[in-house]
Structure 1
Amino acid sequence: MKEDKTTLFLYKTFIGRIILKIITLRLISKIIGLFLSTRLSKFIISIIIKKNNIDMSEYVETKYKSFNDFFTRNIKQEKRNIELNKNILISPCDANLSVYRINKDNKFYIKGSSYSINELLKDNISKDYLNGYICIFRLCVDNYHHYCYIDNGYKSANNYIQGILHTVRPIALKKYNIYHQNSREWSILHTENFGDVIQIEIGALLVGKIVNHHSNYQFKKGEEKGYFEYGGSTICLLFKKNTIRIEDDILNNTKNDIETTVKYGERIGKKIS
């Protein structure tokens, strides 16, 4: 994947890393987040649309009050079809997807780096997901940043883990273990068809907020769970062993270090009967 010049500068130069260290301080990130919620940030909207070739015809037409208002824009309902068959596993969001087995050492691999599920969750529940799957959905700036529930069921309380915000773009993986340094929020989805699924939302560079609508809540498949404010962000879904079968093309792409582009509500696998 080709990286933009700004990301290359921040991660590949000495001065860039100094700037990166400053802007990822929580206070600075909060100030930037506040600015992006003001009318003064509106000028950024046209720049982002043009740079990322965003098709605005997919979104509800409105006058945006700020950049964050634009970033959290609502998509037209007919532009995303939710697969409601109870046996079908859907993507919770628009993203680039990779899927890995969770091995006996509680490690999974992204772009050649290994990560501990236990460190990601900071909870011993991670051992229950050995030999299951972790689905990693990486959202880009041009994606729709709302996400939905993958099934009917009941959601536990949200568990928030504070971290230092860093970009999820691939170049960052060469220098940082991003999931150790990112703020994240996770909960258990007690689903009707896929067992107890852990969903983790992970913040990234300049993301001031992960917005989850519910805590201890009875949910429906396709219902909106929440959204991210500005930044490229990530969602992880953890499944226990023998609960799902992932589509072959997604698994084959992951083996070849290729992410699969998926849409909100699209089929990515099915229940193991």
Structure 2
Amino acid sequence: MSSHSSVSFTERRRLGGWLPRKEPELAAFRKDLAAKARRRAGQAPRVSVVEELATLIGNDPVLRMDLTRAINDAVTAGYELGYSTIDELIDIVDYLMTYAPRFSEASLIHCPLNAVLDWPMCMPSGYALFRDPALNAQLKRVLDVWCGFLSGPHSRTHLNTSSPDGWFSPEAQKQLGMSQFICDPDAPYWGFASWNSFFTRQFRPGERPVAEPDDNKVIVSACEASPYNIQHDVKLHDQFWIKSQPYSLQEMFTTSQHALAKQFVGGSVYQAFLSAFNYHRWHAPVGGKIVKAYHVDGSYYSNAESEGVDPGGLNDSQGYTTAIAARAVIVIDCDDPRIGLVGCIFVGMADVSSCVIEALPGQRVAKGDELGYFQYGGSTYCLVFQPAVVQSFMPHPPFDDAKPPLHVNACVAKAR
């Protein structure tokens, strides 16, 4: 690993703007975060879930070995982490439990814990480490506590018009376009009760009309998201961990849903990724009856080894995450029997893994109705279709990451 250096990776592919592309900006953020964490460490006890994380790692020799190696390998390779020991890392995690993301025109960092773990998680020992079930269960509890902070009033630190950090500053407005969303610029914090309230903001009526609401053959985008991949003739089982990351239906829906997954064999998958700046609610791509709606506990910082030492911080592992990451699955039995079942898989990755399902089994939804949302962001989602249903997808590869996202409720595909 020592042959690699952070100098070699000055700019990385970063889908959706969740982290900066330039490594020096991330290194500077990590060092600043570490300094603040050191100052806090002696002033207050750790949050209990973070202390439990430290205890889990400290009492498990394999976890402790793998994390120590991952940190050491990253440091030896020349990456500036801001920490060199497990204890220093735990102090940073503890500091992040009361961290509210700030706006930055130059180097926005929406996923601070992802930034902190960016290199250890793609070192050789990091791959196994971040797939460990016990570690992921505790990380879920840690992220739930942070999500709780972000859902409370103390998270509104940067919901103001002050430059350069305020989310309502002139610089931020160029990115966010808050006039499209329900808010009140004359109210404190523009009427948002918390960071998550701001992040899950809703469009004003009429901003995202549903394409051809009475035409069942027109299938609409479930999220405000940029096309990432389209795959046809998907298999029940496939090698989702290899370079091409083919979709593996059994893993996407989970082994407990074998009969459901089999109904999509030979069908099509459309995948798109969400931007840090955009809308984070999910809408029904078709009208029909909700027949399945469930959460899947998964991993949070696991990469595919096939992407190598520079995986883009989960970005190039998007297909892989549909099989292993925390996610919400909603299946709609379309009103048009020729379309049949449509699977909607909303994948939370890294720091943005809180999936809230609103539409439950037995409910009927019209095309464009809200299904749920990602608290604090969201990363990627898939629409899964049965065989011989889709005539054509509106977006066509090759896809350009820099293009604006496909609007939610806009036509994404047409059925036969």
TM-score, length-scaled by structure 2 = 0.57
Deviation (angstroms), 1:105 = 6.1
RMSD of aligned C-alpha atoms?
3.4
Deviation (angstroms), 1:35 = 0.9
Aligned to 1:225: 371
Q: Does 1:154 align with 2:300?
A: no
Which SS does the other structure have where 1:226 is aligned?
A: strand
Deviation (angstroms), 1:36 = 0.4
- Indicate conservation of the 8 Å contact 1:89/1:269, yes or no: yes
Q: Which amino acid aligns with 2:326?
A: S
Name the CA distance, whole Å, in 2 between partners of 1:56 and 1:226.
21
Deviation (angstroms), 1:172 = 1.5
Within the candidate set 397, 400, 405, 1:252 is matched to 397
Aligned to 2:193: 65
Aligned to 1:119: 251
Deviation (angstroms), 1:121 = 1.0
Aligned to 1:202: 347
Aligned to 1:55: 177
Which SS does the other structure have where 1:92 is aligned?
A: coil
Consecutive unaligned residues in structure 2, runs of 5 or more: 1-12, 27-110, 185-190, 304-310
Name the CA distance, whole Å, in 2 between partners of 1:221 and 1:66.
29
The structure whose residues are more often helix, as a share, is 2
**After superposition, what is the alpha-carbon deviation per residue over 1:219-256, rounded to whole angstroms, capped at 9, x for unaligned?**
111111111110332221110111112335x23325x8
Name the CA distance, whole Å, in 1 between partners of 2:262 and 2:286.
23
Within the candidate set 140, 145, 148, 1:26 is matched to 140
Deviation (angstroms), 1:196 = 0.9
What number of residue pairs does the alignment pair up? Answer: 269
After the TM superposition, which residues 90-169 of structure 1 pair with which residues of structure 2 at under 5 Å, given as runs? 90-97=220-227, 98-104=229-235, 106-107=237-238, 112-122=244-254, 123-124=257-258, 125-166=260-301
Name the CA distance, whole Å, in 1 between partners of 2:267 and 2:207.
32
Name the CA distance, whole Å, in 2 between partners of 1:268 and 1:175.
23
Of 158-167 and 147-156, the range deviating more from structure 2: 158-167
With over 3 angstroms needed to count, the CA separation of the structure-2 counterparts of 1:16 and 1:80, relative to structure 1, is same
Within the candidate set 253, 256, 264, 2:408 is matched to 264
Which SS does the other structure have where 1:232 is aligned?
A: coil
Name the CA distance, whole Å, in 1 between partners of 2:323 and 2:235.
20
Name the CA distance, whole Å, in 2 between partners of 1:48 and 1:105.
47
Aligned to 1:171: 313
Deviation (angstroms), 1:9 = 4.7
Deviation (angstroms), 1:145 = 0.8
Which SS does the other structure have where 2:219 is aligned?
A: strand
Q: Does 1:78 align with 2:206?
A: yes
**After superposition, what is the alpha-carbon deviation per residue over 1:117-164, rounded to whole angstroms, capped at 9, x for unaligned?**
211211223232222111112112211111211222111132222123
With over 3 angstroms needed to count, the CA separation of the structure-2 counterparts of 1:185 and 1:9, relative to structure 1, is closer
- Indicate conservation of the 8 Å contact 1:166/1:181, yes or no: no
Name the CA distance, whole Å, in 2 between partners of 1:271 and 1:175.
29
With over 3 angstroms needed to count, the CA separation of the structure-2 counterparts of 1:48 and 1:207, relative to structure 1, is farther
- Indicate conservation of the 8 Å contact 1:106/1:127, yes or no: no
Name the CA distance, whole Å, in 1 between partners of 2:302 and 2:156.
23
With over 3 angstroms needed to count, the CA separation of the structure-2 counterparts of 1:48 and 1:180, relative to structure 1, is farther
With over 3 angstroms needed to count, the CA separation of the structure-2 counterparts of 1:258 and 1:115, relative to structure 1, is farther
- Indicate conservation of the 8 Å contact 1:135/1:238, yes or no: yes
Within the candidate set 185, 189, 214, 2:328 is matched to 185
Name the CA distance, whole Å, in 2 between partners of 1:260 and 1:59.
17
Name the CA distance, whole Å, in 1 between partners of 2:386 and 2:364.
21
Q: Which amino acid aligns with 1:209?
A: S
Identity level (%):
20
Consecutive unaligned residues in structure 1, runs of 5 or more: none
Structure number with the bigger relative contact order (C-alpha 8 A, sep ≥ 6) is: 1
Which SS does the other structure have where 1:200 is aligned?
A: strand
Within the candidate set 146, 154, 157, 1:43 is matched to 157
Q: Could you list the structure 1 runs, at least 4 aligned residues long, displaced by more than 6 angstroms after superposition.
A: 15-18, 20-24, 108-111, 256-260
Of 40-49 and 144-153, the range deviating more from structure 2: 40-49
Deviation (angstroms), 1:170 = 4.8
With over 3 angstroms needed to count, the CA separation of the structure-2 counterparts of 1:128 and 1:65, relative to structure 1, is same
The structure whose residues are more often strand, as a share, is 1
